[in-house]
Amino acid sequence: VGQVIHASNEVPFLSLKLEFTQNQILEVLNEYELPILTKENARRALFVGQMGASLLEAMVRLARLLDHPAEISFLAPLYIKEILFRLLQGPYGVALAQIAMEDSSTYRIRETIEQIIRHRDQPLRIESLAETARMSVSSFHRHFKEVTAMSPLQFQKQLRLQEARRLLLSESADAADVAFRVGYESPSQFSREYARLFGCPPRTDIKQLKEKYDVLRDANTF
């Protein structure tokens, strides 16, 4: 979750999200024969870093294609390939490559993360997840925490509570009903853990969020 606190018509905040497929990563690795340490341990899955001049130039060229729609189909794949090439050469290249390489621990942890996301409302079976990752239980716990900065149980809890918050905001549903829908068996436990994560109980949190959104909406109405 992020929030832009300084932006105006004169000095706007610009952002761009670019996703890569597993095949795109592997294609660049194979085509340019970039050296990757396939046996390196899993590392954190989220990074924030400074952008080098060459990477920035490629990103700007890609963004400027918005002004030339007829050129996007031909030039965009070339610029994206260059961006991926420069990312793989950068300080986080190993982590990015391991996400796509099936024999890496990061790739195997990614599989278990996807499994937890798909079944977030169901009980967590660590032994089954470790088997999916082809690791011992202790090794799985260690690698999972290196990638996500939390244990599998904490990760599932975050998913459940974030989904609960979304449901409460979008559907105006009852907190107890939402608790059961996201996998909790006890509404009181849900309320305690919700307050621990978001700072206040569900009803108070949703009320404050809606009031905040109303203020922002009114401020942006001309």
Neighbours of 148 (CB within 10 A): 20
CA distance 110 to 114: 6
What is the C-alpha separation between 194 and 150, in angstroms, rounded?
17
Q: What would the pLDDT profile of 22-61 be if each residue is shown by its tens digit? A: 889 888 888 887 766 555 554 666 788 888 999 999 999 9
- In sequence order, which residues have a C-beta less than 8 Å from that of residue 36 and are 6 or more positions away? 29, 88, 93, 94, 97, 98, 101
Output the pLDDT for position 161. 96
Q: At what angle do helices 137-148 and 105-118 cross, to 10 degrees?
A: 80
- Give the tokens for residue 95: 């982590």
Cα–Cα distance, 43 to 1 (Å, whole number): 21
Using the predicted structure, report yes or no on whether residue 77 has a pLDDT greater than 80.
yes
| Percent over 90 (pLDDT), the chain | 51
The tokens for 192 are 């305690």
Alpha carbons 191 and 201: distance in angstroms, whole number = 6
Q: Are 198 and 205 in contact (CB under 8 A)?
A: yes
pLDDT by residue (tens digit) across 86-107? Answer: 999 888 888 888 877 767 787 8
Average pLDDT of the chain, as a whole number: 87
- Looking at the predicted structure, is the pLDDT value of residue 215 above 80? no
Q: Confidence class of residue 222 from pLDDT cuts 50, 70 and 90?
A: very low
- The residues, ordered by sequence, that sit 6+ positions from 124 with a Cβ below 8 Å of its Cβ are 116, 152, 153, 156
The mean pLDDT value for 167-172 works out to: 87
